[in-house]
Amino acid sequence: MTKINLKIRPRRLRKNELIRSMFQETYLSPAQFISPIFIHDGSSPEVKINSMPGIFQFSLDRALKYIEELKENKINSVILFGIPDSKDNTATSGWENDGIIQKANRKIKEHFPDILLINDTCLCEYMDHGHCGIVMEKEILNDPTLEIIQKTALSQAESGADIIAPSGMIDGMVSAIRSVLDDNGFQDKAIMSYAVKYASSFYGPFREAAQSTPQFGDRRSYQMNPANKREAIREALLDEKEGADIIMIKPALPYLDIISEVKSKVNLPIAAYNVSGEYSMVKAASEKGWIDEDKVVLEMLTGIKRAGADVIISYFAKDILKLLKKFY
């Protein structure tokens, strides 16, 4: 056998667990995670979401218990989605004082004043047609929708939200929210903009969870074309200019290149949403015995972080502490 003289051997730094750990480049921490919570306006403590094993719509009292469980697992940030008991064509239940999210904000802050409370500021859950804006003759109207978004954001801020998270991809939504918050004394309320939200097929399970399936058409006239990258940069830079404090990319896994690209272009923290379809695929494959769920989840979330996400919204958030203890 011919003698091979290799001076450069990368495997030297992968030889054992100690040296691999020493040179690990990307780390996860529970502090980087936000847990979504679905809260309904009924009396049932838990309503099963068939397409998302282990995830439920909670009553407000049960949601409080779930937040206790999250805090025990070092998760101190949540984003709320409301399922109202009534809907109309102006999203009234999304911005009225006794709306489900407004009641939840007050109750959560009463019990957990130190929780970081984020509100999804979209209208689809509260519209009887399931779209994210005012509709006229099956067209989603941009500017009239901004007025409803302002009402919703202000009511969320007044009831205790720390961060407002507009998700409808309506032009000017960040500017409109920043203006109404500042004009009403909420200059310190942050905005986490769903600046780059693709018209994705990965949202299917969420629409069951939030009961927000459009009653006609789809959302491609306001959510982004999955084929576009430059448009994502434009949207992110625009929202940064309008006053966003955090830029979000949604979904996460099919758009790791977008996370990386946006990270290099804006001077704001980057959030990524590990969405319902990504969650459900892992759960389904795990139930079939095709994958090791814990290892896959940790690898998946590490990949999102490595791509450039500073924070991750994930239905796996509650599990992250357990996974870190198990593997590190």
Residues annotated as catalytic are 197, 250
Q: How far apart are the first and last CA of the chain?
A: 40
Q: C-alpha distances in angstroms, 100 versus 45, 67, 95, 97, 159?
A: 14, 17, 9, 9, 11
Q: 288-301 burial string, b = 16+ CB within 10 Å, else e?
A: eeebebeeebbebb
SS3 label, residue 296: helix
CB atoms within 10 A of CB 175: 17
User: CA 199 from chain center: how many Å?
Assistant: 15
